[in-house]
Amino acid sequence: MKTPAKNQNALLNIFLGTSCFLLMFQLYCIAPLLPAYTGEFNSSLLNMAIPAFAIPFATAAACMVLSPSTFKKPQWWIALSLLAMSSGSLLLSTVGSAEVFLLNRMLTGVGTGTMLPSALVLATRSADKKESFSNMIRIILSLATGMTFAPSIGGWLNESLGWRSLFQVVGMISAVLWLLFIMFNRRNKSISYRQIRMVKRESNLHIIWKGRKIYSFVFLSGVFHSGVFVWISYYFTLQYKLGAYDLGTALFIFGLPGLTVAILLFRINQDTSGIRILYSGLALTILGLLVMMQHLPLWLAECLLALMSLGFSFSQPLFIGILKLPKAGLSAGTLFAIGSGILFAGYGSGPLIMAALLESQKYAGIGFLVFVVIVMAGLGSYVTSGTHPG
């Protein structure tokens, strides 16, 4: 039978996972809607919808390292982020121009930028390193699940509800979660939020330089995932004339198999150094991308999406640069803030690069994705051999 303390911890983990799921959901539910946004607002600026959120988010997350006192009350940063996500989503459903749409996304990105680093700090509150690492993995899987299902649900619900109603729903769910989280913290003040103090201060640039290969892998993972969502939306709209609903289905086919395999990999071996099939997986992804260029029937192209998803899942965890428990002299908050910032910088950069390439040449985007996967494969052996709990 669980003790009250264990029940409190379990409930807190549910709050953290749900918050991170919503974070990624509201970021990526617009991926299949970008062509519709461009038409509704008569502006190509809406292609910036994902970067407009992700880059300010990355900046806000990285800025958390500027003050050592930032992580003293991580639970309140979570509450603030939920409030920002709720108000931002509700206001977004009312906008009438592309400029206001993007401004809203930027402000929401800044307001929620503290969520992921704070959630990871709370996830590592246990003195037991194995438990802390398991909690971090649950946060990462919550992010991955939100990313996987958001484009699909966004495309599917757009047909019946419309994107404005979709964001109203996200805003109301975030508001309810915020209220419940506030009540939880008031009732459970006895929960201990263990803080790992910085014994020896290192400059942030020095930390990034020492982990440059891992952080490069993280950045490119974000670039690839954001870039491929934009590319699929563009290519399948152009090649197969798909609407938002069918684009949601195509993105679901791309996301679900990989997520399933990733969860299985974590359950089999939570020590990421045990993943030795990275190269074959990335090779399968490259092959799928190259074959996709051959004007295939829609059903075959969707089968290839599933294979690509399976292949790329072997590079899990995609967020490996923030799955690092602090060593002597480093604070958990510093590592998590830097890693979160780099990850979301990748999320924001992918659509920017992809949009620029797609404007110049139809196949330039897929060539870029192939290049990114090849570089990630080059970083793979170092990443998988050098990351482990603690």
Torsional sign, CA 53, 59, 65, 66:
negative
Q: Report residue 74 as tokens.
A: 């991580």
Rg (CA), the chain: 20
Using alpha carbons, select from 166, 98, 137, 124 the residue that is nearest to residue 272.
137
Q: Report residue 149 as tokens.
A: 């299902």
Residue 390's pLDDT is what?
Answer: 37
**Low pLDDT (below 50) residues in the chain:** 1-2, 195-200, 270-274, 317, 328, 387-390
Name the phi and psi angles at 271, rounded to 5: -85, 110
Q: How far apart are CA 255 and CA 222, in angstroms?
A: 14
Q: How far apart are CA 49 and CA 27, in angstroms?
A: 9
Vertex 145 angle, CA 144 and 149, to 5°: 120
- How buried is 2 (Cβ within 10 angstroms: 0-12 exposed, 13-18 middle, 19+ buried)? exposed
Q: How far apart are CA 112 and CA 115, in angstroms?
A: 6
Vertex 213 angle, CA 354 and 130, to 5°: 110
Q: What share of the chain is helix, strand, coil (3-state, %, to 5)?
A: 80, 0, 20
Residue 62 contacts residue 337 (beta carbons within 8 Å) = yes
Q: Report residue 355 as tokens.
A: 């949009």
**What is residue 114's DSSP assignment?**
T
**What is residue 1's DSSP assignment?**
-
Residue 53 contacts residue 106 (beta carbons within 8 Å) = yes
| pTM for the predicted model, two decimal places | 0.87
Vertex 158 angle, CA 153 and 163, to 5°: 105
Residue 124 contacts residue 325 (beta carbons within 8 Å) = yes
Residue 68's pLDDT is what?
Answer: 65
Residue 101's pLDDT is what?
Answer: 94
Helix axes 332-360, 212-240, angle to 10 degrees: 30
Helix axes 74-92, 98-112, angle to 10 degrees: 170
Q: How far apart are CA 132 and CA 126, in angstroms?
A: 6
Q: Alpha carbon of 296 to those of 130, 256, 293, 309: distances in Å?
A: 46, 21, 8, 18
